[in-house]
Amino acid sequence: MTAEKLKELIAEMTLEEKASICSGADFWHTEAVERLGIPASMVSDGPHGLRKQDDKADHLGVNESIKAVCFPAGCGTAASFNRELLTEMGKVLGNECQAEGISVILGPAVNIKRSPLCGRNFEYYSEDPVLASQIAGALIKGIQSKNVGTSIKHFLANNQETRRMSVSAEIGERTLREIYLAAFEGAVREQKPWTVMCSYNRINGVYAAENKKYLTDVLRDEWGFDGYVMSDWGAVNNRVADLQAGLELEMPSSGGSNDRLIVEAVKNGTLEESVLDRAVERILNIVYRYEENRDASAVFDRDKDHEAARKVAEETIVLLKNDGILPLQEGKKVAFIGKYAKTPRYQGGGSSHINSHKVTSAMDMAAGNPAISYAQGFCDEEDKIDQRLMEEAVECARQAEAAVIFAGLPDAFESEGFDREHMRMPECQNELIRQVAGVQPNVVVVLHNGSPVEMPWIDSVKGVIEAYLGGQAVGGAEYDILFGKVNPSAKLPETFPLKLEDNPSYLNFPGEGNTVEYKEGIFVGYRYYDKKKMDVLFPFGHGLSYTEYTYSNLQVSAEKLKDTDSLTVSVDVTNSGDMAGKEVVQLYVEDKVSSVIRPVKELKDFAKVELQPKETKTVTFKLSKRAFAYYNTQIGDWHVESGEFDIMIGKSSRDIVLTKTITVESTVELPVVYTADSIMEDVFKNPKAKEIVMKVMEGSASFLPQEGGEGSSGAEAISMEMQEAMMRYMPLRGAVGFGSATMEDVQALVDKLNAL
């Protein structure tokens, strides 16, 4: 529908009809206006499968949804570092939506993993905003290519489940811009999601739903978002204020009560009808975008999509440790131990829970293979050692040539709705691993979890595989990687710390009462661990392969450039091993000298390249100003300081293999306003200002540094270094106390400096 026709349609609507459009008709549908032929539109939970519900209202998965296909959760898909893979996954999801009459799938979820304890981390992508935003954008691209909308969520700063409907995330503007907003920004600017879902929480005291600064000023005016903003289910707190701030659609239905508040506000003049008209236009534009692009031929082929989910899972499994034990040899006597070998934990709990049409386990794949034995080992209903199961597992491992333990976190340990209390696995599972390792030297642990865990047994096993929550086909992917039919290629999208107390948010998560302070600032994840030079269990970007990759010939298009120029970076990657595989090339940038506190390095781009044995390919990146900038709150914009930057190519944040230094010249001179409180060190950064100040201060014997007489007590008490330091940190007004100037003189000096 054209913009003109849409406006004509809205002009025909009554005030009450327009208000109704801004609210859901029920839990999953927008409101229809039959009189004018305006259709209802259905949305469905996602983002890694359809949780379509036709009947009973239910947001958290209590009531049964249709049989569907569960793809790997966000924690795993981010580990793929593969944009193309996510786009293909998105196309499958988009086709499923078309087949099921879904106009918008609720996802992707891109909130930053601030703490390993966040109960919803399994659904989120990364601790790094570039990775989160790029993976989200790739999924959006795929889904929306099928003329189905996405709802990127949860905007903004929804980084915990504790008090998520009331807590205020207290975050500085620079931190918001560089970390938490940045996770959304790239995806919104580049892929234009049809909708955005606002979060429950407050940001610096203002509820997300009525936060005009972020819903309108940033999201629309800066980033160019042109869809509609919907509330998280029940996130509306003040309907009229929310509408004015930029929240168009309230979900679910308020039963008409909030519609009446909108009508009353228009009638009494507290809400301009043009604001309501604009909201209706934004909603209906999306409704008709879907309706006019329905694909009547779309078929939800669940078995075919199951195989697609398996292909995705293959690239979401991270090989963390391999002391020569993997891949396992076919025919070797292997014990599969642990409940998750037969009934894998492959998804998280809550609104994204999929009613899978089938599930493939590792034991399903082992059917008919007499070389593989099985023992359950543990129950996950409670953290309690079952001595009989433990003994059976130990004996099973003793009689094998190798043991693979399928362990991880049960549903009771991580889910939407609550945060984890610690970073430990169930003790019954840790003890199982210890006991098996005590009788079997060849042990591999396969983990099923949505966020990092501590590994007290790490030195007792030869291999560790992080399967994350790999979707309903996870068993097939695990089996093929264990036996070398697939070469692992995933990398960690988050740091695994040695212990919870090492995490930068540890002292400030989940906050006090209804306030949580993000005191770690921009130092989230690897930014913190690298800055502190802390040992970690596994670093961000880490992941092993069954082959070897070598890097060479790092080239840059210029060694000196302005911040308005772009920089092309290329590097050759060679598969120097004997097995085909895919390597994730990671590009980090370091600002070598900065006047502001910055991380040691930050991920700025990445690429995944497939290589046959002995094959070499050139990987190329293009960097713009943003790759070198920090967010300057003084000017309210991104700023590059002139100086040297290191372009780093790495296999992880801790494994940098090639580095090249370039010089970037800033084209923006930051405004400087001098006051009587400006210290000499800052004033002297401007040569002209320094010259003026030194002329004024000449002759002030007590102010300028001077040497004491030889052997004098003054020389012993006050060194030249001390005097120079005191002068550097002296405010201009210090000339009054330490020199012969008056405050009038100081003010005249300040005026002269500001006139430069």
Give the three-class secondary structure for 318.
strand
d(CA 647, CA 656) in angstroms, rounded, equals 10
Estimate the crossing angle of helix 302-314 against helix 474-482, to 10 degrees: 40
CA 153 and chain centroid, separation: 11
d(CA 228, CA 249) in angstroms, rounded, equals 7
What's the order of all strands across the beta sheet hosting 402-408?
318-322, 463-466, 443-448, 402-408, 334-337, 372-375
What's the order of all strands across the beta sheet hosting 202-203?
206-207, 202-203, 168-170, 515-517
Number of Cβ within 10 Å of residue 678's Cβ equals: 19
Q: Rounded to 5 degrees, what are φ and ψ at 609? A: -125, 135
- CA geometry: angle at 135 spanning 134 and 140, to 5°? 95
Contact assessment for residue 451 and residue 118, using Cβ atoms and an 8 Å cutoff: yes
- CA geometry: angle at 333 spanning 332 and 336, to 5°? 115
At position 339, the amino acid (one-letter code) is K
| DSSP classification of residue 476 | H
Query: Within 13 A of 596's CA, how many CA atoms are on the CB side?
Result: 18
d(CA 313, CA 712) in angstroms, rounded, equals 78
Give the H or E element holding residue 212: helix 212-212
d(CA 183, CA 78) in angstroms, rounded, equals 13
Burial of 48 (0-12, 13-18, 19+ CB in 10 A): buried
Contacts of 349 (CB under 8 A, 6+ apart): 61, 411, 414, 415, 416, 417
CA 151 and chain centroid, separation: 16
Query: Within 13 A of 440's CA, how many CA atoms are on the CB side?
Result: 31
Of the candidates 531, 642, 635, 637, the residue with the CA atom closest to the CA atom of residue 593: 642
At position 130, the amino acid (one-letter code) is V
At position 126, the amino acid (one-letter code) is S
Number of Cβ within 10 Å of residue 131's Cβ equals: 25
| DSSP classification of residue 36 | G
Estimate the crossing angle of helix 257-267 against helix 273-291, to 10 degrees: 130
Could you identify the residue written with the tokens 């739903």? 209
Look up 295 and say whether it is catalytic.
no
Residues 26, 58, 226, 232: which is the catalytic one?
232
Contacts of 748 (CB under 8 A, 6+ apart): none
d(CA 732, CA 679) in angstroms, rounded, equals 6
Contact assessment for residue 586 and residue 541, using Cβ atoms and an 8 Å cutoff: yes
d(CA 357, CA 339) in angstroms, rounded, equals 20
Q: Rounded to 5 degrees, what are φ and ψ at 701? A: -60, -35
- Extended strands (E) in 100-218: 104-106, 149-155, 168-170, 195-198, 202-203, 206-207
What's the order of all strands across the beta sheet hosting 643-652?
560-562, 655-665, 643-652, 581-591, 602-611
Residues catalogued as catalytic: 232
